[in-house]
C-alpha cells in the first residue's frame, strides 16, 4: 500500500503543492482587479444567459428555484471539468523541477485539486444568497452536501492521478479528455433536469459518474435527500474503489518512470 | 556509500512509442517496433565510497544519466542501486526556475523541495539573497534575467543546501570570468563538506585537478577508472 502511504504523505506535507497552487492563482489573475472572482463572474454570466433563455422560452413557475439549481450545478461542473482538463497538463510545466530533484508527482495532483477548490469556494457566497432567495429551507440534511463534496473530491483526486499519469505518456489523452468533457456536459442534468427526459434516458444516467457527483452535492442543498442520493453515494464509493485499484497498477508500473516521458 | 549492481537505464524514444493508437494496434496485432528506447546506461557495476569522483565522457555517454539515477530522478530499468546519505544536486540549473516566478519565489521553492523547515528556510533565504548580489532583481520574474543572473540564483541556492552526497553536472557553463574564480572556490569548499562528490564534465584537466578518481564513460558503459 505504498501508493496510499505516499498520497497521505503528500496530503500531510502540503508545503510544495500549496506553494505552487498559490503562485498559480496569483499568476493567473495577476494585474486583474477582481482576482479569482473573475471566475465567479464568468459563471454568473453563463447562469444569467441560460436562465434568461429558460425564462423566455419555457416561462416556468419555479424560476427562482431553477436559477438556484442551475447555479449549484454550473459551479460544481466548472470545478469538476477544470480539474479533469487541467489533469492533462499537470506535469507539463514541472520538467524544470522534476529533472533536478526527485519529487513525488502526487504533489502536483494535489495542487490541481487544491487550486480549483480555492476558485470553487469563491462561488459559495453566490450559492448561499440564491439559497435564501429560493423556496428551500435550512435543514440538518444540508450537511450531507459537504459529505458528498468530500467524496467527490476523493474521486477527483484519484481520477486526476489516473489522467495525469496517462497523459504524460500518451499525448492523445489530452484531446480525448477535452472531447469527453464537452460530451459529458450535455449528457449530465446541469442545464436540464431528469424529469424533462424519458425514463430510458433517466436509466442511462446511472452510468454517468459526473451525474452522481452533482447529485451528491446538489440534492442535499435542495432538501432532496432520498434513495437517489444514497444510490449515488454508493456508486461514488464503488467508483473510488475501482479507480484506486487501477491506480495501484499505474503506480507500480508507470509512476516512477513517468519523468522519462516528459 | 553508493553501490550500483548491474544498473541499466533505458530512455524511451518519444516518437516511436507514445501514440495511443500505435500502442493499441501493437497490443492487438503484435508490435513491429524492435527497439523503442535508448540504452543510456548499460549494466553499470560501481562502488563509491568517501571521495571526489569525476565523470568524463562525450555528450550522450551516460554521465548525466548516472547522476540522475543516483539522485532518484530516473529509476533504473534493471539492476539495483543503494544510496546511503542525503543528496544535493546541481544537475540542471533550470531547477525551480519557472520563468514567471520571481527570484525570491525560486529560492523559496527550491528550499521547500529540499524539505527545509520554515525557520531554517527564512534564515537561508536571507543568506542566499546576499550571496547572489541580485538586489532588487530578486523581486522580478526570472524571465527578465540574463543567463548569468539565472546561474547566480540557481548556484547560490543549491550551494546552501547541505548534503552527504553532492552531484554536479557542468556547473560552470554560464558563469562569467569574474564569477568563475569565486564559484570554483565555493565549489571546493562545498565539496569538502560532502562525503561523496560526483562531478560530470567534458573538461578532463579540470577534473584531474579536483578529483581523486575519474570514471570514463563511453556509450553508456564505463570504459575505465583511474
pLDDT tens for residues A16-30?
Answer: 999 989 988 888 887
Cβ contacts of B161 on chain A, cutoff 8 Å = none
Chain A's closest residue to B88, CA to CA, is A101
CB atoms within 10 A of CB B33: 12
Q: Which residue of A has its CA nearest to B118?
A: A15
Q: For residue B19, which residues of chain A lie inside 8 Å, CB to CB?
A: 170-172
From the list B42, B48, B91, B38, the residue with the least C-alpha distance to B196 is: B48
CB contact under 8 A, B89 and A100: yes
Contacts of B18 in chain A (CB under 8 A): 169-171, 261
Highest mean pLDDT, choosing among A190-194, A229-233, B113-117, B222-226: A229-233
What span, in angstroms and rounded, lies between the C-alpha atoms of B134 and B95?
18
Contacts of B26 in chain A (CB under 8 A): none
B9-34 pLDDT, tens digit each: 888 876 555 566 666 666 666 655 55
Q: For residue range A82-139, what is the model confidence (pLDDT) as tens digits?
A: 999 999 998 887 887 888 788 889 999 999 999 999 989 988 888 888 888 888 888 8
Residue A222, C-alpha cell as written in the block: 435542495
A99 secondary structure, DSSP code: T
> What confidence score (pLDDT) does residue B15 get?
53
pLDDT, tens digit, 9 for 90 and up, residues A52-74:
887 777 766 778 888 888 889 99
**Comparing C-alpha atoms, which of A84, A69, A74 is closest to residue A43?**
A74
Judge whether A252 is closer than 8 Å to chain B, CB to CB.
no
Amino acid at each position: 500500500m505504498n501508493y496510499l502511504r505516499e498520497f497521505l504523505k503528500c496530503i500531510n506535507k502540503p508545503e510544495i503543492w500549496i506553494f505552487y497552487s498559490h503562485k498559480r492563482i496569483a499568476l493567473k489573475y495577476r494585474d486583474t482587479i477582481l482576482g479569482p472572482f473573475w471566475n465567479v463572474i464568468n459563471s454568473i454570466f453563463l447562469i444569467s444567459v441560460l436562465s434568461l433563455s429558460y425564462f423566455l422560452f419555457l416561462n416556468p413557475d419555479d424560476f427562482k428555484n431553477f436559477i438556484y439549481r442551475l447555479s449549484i450545478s454550473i459551479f460544481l461542473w466548472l470545478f469538476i471539468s477544470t480539474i479533469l482538463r487541467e489533469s492533462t497538463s499537470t506535469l507539463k510545466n514541472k520538467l524544470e523541477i522534476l529533472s533536478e530533484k526527485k519529487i513525488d508527482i502526487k504533489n502536483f495532483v494535489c495542487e490541481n485539486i487544491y487550486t480549483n477548490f480555492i476558485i470553487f469556494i469563491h462561488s459559495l457566497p453566490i450559492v448561499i444568497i440564491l439559497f435564501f432567495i429560493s423556496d428551500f429551507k435550512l435543514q440538518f440534511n444540508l450537511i450531507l452536501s459537504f459529505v458528498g463534496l468530500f467524496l467527490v473530491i476523493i474521486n477527483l483526486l484519484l481520477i486526476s492521478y489516473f489522467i495525469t499519469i496517462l497523459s504524460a505518456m500518451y499525448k492523445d489523452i489530452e484531446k480525448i479528455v477535452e472531447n469527453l468533457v464537452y460530451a459529458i456536459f450535455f449528457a449530465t442534468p446541469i442545464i436540464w433536469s431528469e424529469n424533462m427526459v424519458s425514463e430510458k434516458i433517466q436509466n442511462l444516467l446511472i452510468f454517468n459518474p459526473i451525474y452522481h457527483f452533482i447529485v451528491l452535492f446538489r440534492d442535499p442543498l435542495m432538501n432532496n435527500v432520498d434513495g437517489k442520493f444514497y444510490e449515488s453515494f454508493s456508486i461514488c464509493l464503488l467508483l473510488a474503489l475501482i479507480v484506486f485499484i487501477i491506480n495501484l497498477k499505474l503506480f507500480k508500473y508507470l509512476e516512477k518512470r513517468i519523468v522519462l516521458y516528459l | 556509500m553508493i553501490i550500483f549492481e548491474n544498473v541499466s537505464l533505458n530512455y524511451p524514444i518519444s516518437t516511436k512509442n507514445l501514440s495511443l493508437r500505435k500502442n493499441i494496434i501493437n497490443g492487438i496485432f503484435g508490435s513491429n517496433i524492435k527497439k523503442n528506447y535508448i540504452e543510456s546506461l548499460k549494466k553499470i557495476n560501481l562502488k563509491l565510497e568517501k571521495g571526489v569522483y569525476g565523470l568524463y565522457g562525450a555528450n550522450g555517454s551516460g554521465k548525466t544519466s548516472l547522476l540522475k539515477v543516483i539522485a532518484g530522478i530516473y529509476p533504473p530499468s534493471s539492476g539495483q542501486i543503494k544510496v546511503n546519505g542525503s543528496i544535493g544536486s546541481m544537475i540542471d540549473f533550470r531547477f525551480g526556475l519557472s520563468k514567471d516566478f520571481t527570484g525570491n519565489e525560486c529560492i523559496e521553492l527550491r528550499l521547500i523541495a529540499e524539505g527545509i523547515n520554515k525557520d531554517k528556510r527564512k534564515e537561508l533565504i536571507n543568506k542566499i539573497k546576499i550571496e547572489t548580489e541580485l538586489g532588487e532583481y530578486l523581486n522580478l520574474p526570472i524571465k527578465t534575467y540574463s543567463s548569468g543572473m539565472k546561474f547566480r540564483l540557481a548556484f547560490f541556492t543549491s550551494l546552501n543546501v547541505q548534503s552527504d552526497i553532492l552531484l554536479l553536472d557542468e556547473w560552470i557553463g554560464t558563469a562569467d570570468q569574474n564569477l568563475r574564480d569565486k564559484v570554483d572556490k565555493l565549489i571546493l569548499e562545498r565539496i569538502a563538506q560532502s562525503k561523496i562528490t560526483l562531478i560530470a564534465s567534458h573538461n578532463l584537466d579540470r577534473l584531474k585537478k579536483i578529483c581523486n578518481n575519474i570514471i570514463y564513460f563511453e556509450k553508456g558503459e564505463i570504459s575505465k577508472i583511474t
